[in-house]
Amino acid sequence: MAKKPQKTYQELLKRSYLELIQGYCDKGYKLAKYGSVKELGQKYDLYKIVIDPKARKTLLITAGFHGEETKSPISLLQIFDDIVRYANEMRVRLIVYPCINPFGFETGRRYSPSTPRGMGNNDFMRYEIEPDKWVGILKENEPSLSCRIVDSKAREVSLLKHDVLEYRVPEAVLDIHQQKGYLETGETFAYIFDRRPTYKRIMKKVGKIAKIARNEDNPLKDKGREIPSRIDNDGFIEIHDGSITDMFYCLGSIFAVTCETKTDLPLEKVCQINLIWAKDLIKLIAKRK
């Protein structure tokens, strides 16, 4: 019988959500359902994968919050065997949500219809900046009185939030995103909260794969509030943006990174960059006493 030809990257980019999930089954991974959503009459079951559940330390990986960032879930599937092999070797548990927003993935739309207008879906926290005045993103060095975790109106994110908070706080979190459009100075950057020297060493490796964006404005909006934000000279944005990484950072995760690649960067490079972040985070937590 003729051998099935390998899919080209171009074909891989046209995958449906079920094909993506099937891709993990084909590689022999066991997926667990944590909920389902119905969007415009179409039902999507939501899945996660847990590798080495008894290992003492955990890397949480999330992909596919934003539908137009298709190479986020696709690259994760491509590099998954390598990540698992390394995590097993380093005795690190992986908790992986391979495609958070299936409707977005299939339609190329950033948000699912259940996401309220003007609100992002990577929306996990509120900060109190004045008594009873709550915002979703803090400006640089903006003090806050308190913070709280909030539920999400985006159904797929609400289900994720409830599920992921059942676990103890992971030592490291990697949220895989992409940037569409206005990135002008490079092809990749990352959101961090601290530990700059450590992440700079990782970024140096990333810089061998693609050009790092530097010194570029990346303004954000939070329910009508303009948030000045800038990719700095090292290719990082340090901002409390209320995202899943921010939530876990505030809950005590030691390492929390959101990696970004331009949507038009070839899949092969996106894979290489995301693999660097995943493996280096595994190594960092495995080394800690």
Q: Which is nearer to Zn ion, 48 or 177 (CB)?
A: 177
Least distance (Å) between residue 72 CB and Zn ion: 7
How many Å apart are CA 287 and CA 40, to the nearest integer?
46
Residues 238-277 that bind Zn ion (CB under 5 A): none
**Options 39, 69, 171, 260, the catalytic residue:** 260
Instruction: List the strands of the sheet with 125-130, edge to edge.
Output: 133-135, 125-130, 146-149
Among 15, 48, 57, 66, binds Zn ion (CB under 5 A): 66
How many Å apart are CA 175 and CA 97, to the nearest integer?
10
How many residues can be counted in the chain? 289
Within 13 Å and on the Cβ side, how many CA atoms surround 228?
Answer: 5
Residue 106: is it exposed, middle or buried by C-beta count within 10 angstroms (0-12/13-18/19+)? Answer: buried
288 beta partners: none
Is residue 71 part of the contact set for Zn ion (CB under 5 A)? no
Site string for Zn ion, 165-184 (x = CB under 5 A): ------------x-------
Q: Which stretch binds Zn ion (CB under 5 A): 1-9, 50-58, 59-67, 241-249?
A: 59-67
Residue 109: is it exposed, middle or buried by C-beta count within 10 angstroms (0-12/13-18/19+)? Answer: middle
How many Å apart are CA 231 and CA 234, to the nearest integer?
8
Least distance (Å) between residue 200 CB and Zn ion: 23
Nearest to 175 by CA among 61, 76, 93, 59: 61
How many Å apart are CA 119 and CA 142, to the nearest integer?
21
Q: Which stretch binds Zn ion (CB under 5 A): 60-68, 99-107, 145-153, 273-281?
A: 60-68
Least distance (Å) between residue 65 CB and Zn ion: 6
Q: Which is nearer to Zn ion, 123 or 171 (CB)?
A: 123
How many Å apart are CA 208 and CA 173, to the nearest integer?
23
Task: Clarify whether 128 is annotated catalytic.
Answer: no
Q: How many residues bind Zn ion (CB under 5 A)?
A: 3
Least distance (Å) between residue 155 CB and Zn ion: 18
Least distance (Å) between residue 27 CB and Zn ion: 25
How many Å apart are CA 238 and CA 217, to the nearest integer?
13
Q: What are phi and psi of 201, to 5 degrees?
A: -65, -35
Q: Which is nearer to Zn ion, 67 or 170 (CB)?
A: 67
Q: Which is nearer to Zn ion, 69 or 246 (CB)?
A: 69
Q: Which is nearer to Zn ion, 144 or 158 (CB)?
A: 158
Least distance (Å) between residue 68 CB and Zn ion: 8
Q: Which is nearer to Zn ion, 39 or 69 (CB)?
A: 69
Return residues touching Zn ion (CB under 5 A): 66, 69, 177
Positions annotated as catalytic residues are 260
